[in-house]
Structure 1
């Protein structure tokens, strides 16, 4: 039986579409493997004993350092405090970002959440303090649809470099989410460690579409044969 040019063209298109869907499915397999490894690494860091944070000049990356448990001693520079807009389980308010001067560096500490009513009336520890928490990676730029505006002292993300420039200090390129200390504001310990992992669903979707492409081409060929035989 002579194969019609239209069948060849549709078959070639179906093959390309099938290959594309399969490639996307395989890509999601690799993405899922990477995500599971990342979750395992972060979980191990987050439940390890606290260690000293990276010192001045250390190279800090999300892949190697995010959510590492750290402990550090120093004195809070309360006059350089910065309030950053926050949406938390306790409601909308602010993160209190305060520089901590240690023996060899300054590091920004997210001391926790305060409500709008507490933005000026919250605890400011004096003297040397011990801070335990999670190492966090800087959040440059701003929040969703809102850019940080240092000139107006309006902050929507915890952008370490920008906050340090605005306060005239040199700080480590990361910040620390402090654990909760006491019952008064700021309320620490609100770090959310969660990574969306929908790659299995995406993988099955792409492979299902690849299968449907073959089925669709088979239906097309069968209908063509029926018309030719009629």
Structure 2
């Protein structure tokens, strides 16, 4: 995958340089250029070199970010703060404990989803990509004195209807361990949420909180909260895409290639 994308990006930049080189050669064919107009082609190798250097800084930033998130996940859970709403960014991906009770009458489903475990890998024996949904349930939290949204975990399509998992609808006051999350954004071509139909494709914290009449607080229940017949907890994705190294190679390779091509063009111009 790395080399496939690298080759694709490299070929695009290479063709761009060839296009402008041919335009230059055609324009001045058989005539002596009156100025050093060809020097503008230096923009390409200098720009791609700058982009490669910028991607090095982006790579370091992403590595540091992943490291911080991993260290957060390893910390022991702490009671969710009363003023968690003012600390969501600081507490994101932090394990917390909550006491309270679920209100299953306001349950929502976020789908389609496939089951994952805490190692972010498909579950063996789950037919690879069996469709299902995340069960999002309001939880009256004693610590915050408010209702919060809890992603209880994944259920298969056959048990998306609550009536098909009565034993999993936990009743009474309990304590859960969960991971604090913030809102998400819809992908460019991703499906839209339809609150009027109670259909949720992505984590729109504001809209889902308004729909369920809760605080704008979201936590993902961890695997220890799983009960027989209920949603499977531990469905938090913490791995971030990190393709900056690929971009570093791409931009530096383009800078080297186009720089060499410019040098060859420069020698031809000097001979005229």
For the aligned pair, the TM-score class normalised by the smaller chain equals: 0.7 to 0.9
- Residue 57 and residue 183 in structure 1: after superposition, are their counterparts in 2 closer, same or farther (change >3 A)? closer
Measure the CA separation in 2 of the matches of 1:6 and 1:22: 29
Aligned to 1:109: 150
* 1:8 counterpart residue number: 36
Equivalences for 1:199-218 in 2 at 5 Å? Answer: 199-218=244-263
Deviation at 1:222, TM superposition (A): 2.9
* Matched residue SS, 1:73: strand
Give the alignment's TM-score, normalised by structure 2. Answer: 0.73
1:112-131 superposed matches below 5 A: 112-119=153-160, 120=162, 121-122=164-165, 123-131=168-176
Partner of 1:86: 112
Structure 1, unmatched stretches of 5+, are: none
Count of equivalent residues: 220
- CA distance in 1: counterparts of 2:250 and 2:114, whole angstroms: 33
- Checking the alignment, whether the CA contact within 8 Å between 1:178 and 1:189 is kept in structure 2 is yes
**Aligned equivalent of 1:41, options 68, 82, 99:** 68
For the residues of structure 2 that align with 1:6 and 1:211, how far apart are their CA atoms?
28
The structure in which a higher percent of residues are strand is: 1
1:40 Cα deviation (Å)?
0.7
Structure-1 residue corresponding to 2:45: 18
Instruction: Return closer, same or farther for 1:144/1:127 CA change in 2, 3 Å cut-off.
Output: farther
- CA gap of 1:7–1:69, structure 2 versus 1, over 3 A, is farther
Equivalent residue, structure 1, for 2:268: 223
- Where structure 2 has 5 or more consecutive residues not aligned to the other structure, the ranges are 1-31, 116-125
How far off its partner does 1:174 sit? 3.1
Q: Measure how far apart 1:57 and its partner are.
A: 6.3
Three-state SS of the structure 2 residue aligned to 1:5 is coil
Which residue of structure 1 aligns with residue 122 of structure 2? none
Asked whether the equivalents of residues 59 and 245 of structure 2 are also in contact (C-alpha less than 8 Å), the reply is: yes
